[in-house]
Amino acid sequence: MKPIIRALLAFVSTLFRSRLALQLEIVALRHQLTVYQRTTKRLRISSGDRILWSWLSRRWSGWQGALNFVQTRTVLAWQRKCFRDHWTKLSKRGRPGRPPVSKEIRALISKMSAANVGWGSPRIVGELRKLGIEVAKSTVEKYRVRPRKPPSSTWKAFLKNHVTDLVSIDFLVVPTVRFKVYFVLVVLAHHRRRVVHFNVTEHPTAQWTGQQIIEAFPWDTAPKYLLRDRDAIYGSQFQRRVKSMGIEEVLPAPRSPWQNAFVERMIGSIRRDCLDHVIVLNERHLKRILIRYFYFYHRWRTHLSLGMDSPESRSVQPPAHGKVVQFPEVGGLHHHYERLAA
């Protein structure tokens, strides 16, 4: 009696269903009947059966009510497998992976990283780009020679200031072999990270500092803004001298060196790239070292903030210009690379 009642209820429910839903249900039931008819002992399901039910589960909302020969989660697993197979097939049409890196480029990356211990991967990428070699940072990370000790930490916060006519100044303290202390004034232009002036003294004063600003910007070359910290060395004599040149001073908040990050980063580079590796003998020796370093800094050192270019822009040398040649700079602390014809 129960099967008859169930059949009558199913008949009544069909009166309220769409023609498309009835046709899909007929297809589903007939397909399952065919599967049972071709089965002898164990249910045998082909790939076509899986594709059909994966399609029905996406197109028909009532497919679970007509499903009897397998569980619902089995059909969902078939659908996920079809999705993965479809996109796997599409991804294999093109040529997988990056183009291979030649043995010559791998050797050059290892040579650069070994000769310049303080260089990071972005610096090597910029140097290779100037030689006409385009490689990714991950490629350099893979083939560079790792130092035994990790490199010192670098500044990560940069002052995002869009004022092009802006310079920063700050002092750098350098001890000598005889325990004398010299003060190095650095004047940095923000636009191309260029050191426009520097000088060394043992006894800095406000009058001496103001005179350095005049020497850094003769005639009508003075900038509009000057960014400095709140050190007492920039006293009233310095302020009057700067004001007479038409320069407006910009002061950061107290104890906030990150607000003068450009020149702070520059001083950090001077220490890490140069002064941490030499012993200063006297004032003359210090000036000679800094002149050599700033020559290397302006002409050859690449900068991440300048799009892997140097302050004095360098042209890209394609491989057709010749073989890569290494030249020592700053007494062998650093090197620059050029292509020269054989």
Dihedral, CA of residue 150, residue 172, residue 290 and residue 121, to nearest 10: 30
Q: Rounded CA gap, 318 and 295, in Å?
A: 24
Residue 261 is predicted with a pLDDT of 87
DSSP line for 153-211? P----------SSEEEEEEEEEE-TTS-EEEEEEEEETTTTEEEEEEEESS--HHHHHH
Q: Please, what is the average pLDDT of the chain?
A: 81
Better pLDDT: 188 or 21:
188
Tens of pLDDT, residues 215-272 = 999 888 888 889 999 999 999 999 999 999 999 998 988 888 888 888 999 999 999 9
Convert 41-58 into a string of H (helix), E (strand) and C (coil).
CCCCCCHHHHHHHHHHHH
CATH number of 166-306: 3.30.420.10
| Residue 89: pLDDT over 70 | yes
Residue 3 is predicted with a pLDDT of 53
Q: Rounded CA gap, 93 and 95, in Å?
A: 7
For the beta carbon of residue 79, count every other beta carbon within 10 angstroms: 18
- pLDDT band at residue 120 using 50, 70 and 90 as cut-offs: confident
- pLDDT band at residue 146 using 50, 70 and 90 as cut-offs: confident
Residue 16 is predicted with a pLDDT of 47
Backbone angles phi, psi at 198, to 5 degrees: -150, 155
Q: Rounded CA gap, 159 and 193, in Å?
A: 13
Tokens encoding 60:
């028909």
- pLDDT band at residue 155 using 50, 70 and 90 as cut-offs: very low
Residue 65 is predicted with a pLDDT of 61
DSSP state, residue 145: P
Question: Average pLDDT for residues 158-180, to the nearest whole number?
Answer: 79
Q: Which of 3-12, 18-27, 322-331 has the lowest mean pLDDT?
A: 3-12
Residue 295 is predicted with a pLDDT of 95
CA 257, distance to chain mean position in Å, is 24
Dihedral, CA of residue 245, residue 290, residue 259 and residue 246, to nearest 10: 0
Q: Which of 10-14, 159-163, 207-211, 315-319 has the lowest mean pLDDT?
A: 159-163
HSE, CB side, 13 Å, CA atoms: give it for residue 332: 2
**Sequence ranges of the domains in the chain:** 2-91, 103-151+312-340, 166-306
Tokens encoding 116:
């310049």
What pTM was computed for the model?
A: 0.58
| Residue 70: pLDDT over 50 | yes
| Residue 156: pLDDT over 50 | no
Q: Rounded CA gap, 171 and 95, in Å?
A: 55
Backbone angles phi, psi at 305, to 5 degrees: -70, -15
Percent of the chain with pLDDT over 90: 42
Nearest residue to 207 via CA among 169, 173, 233, 225:
233
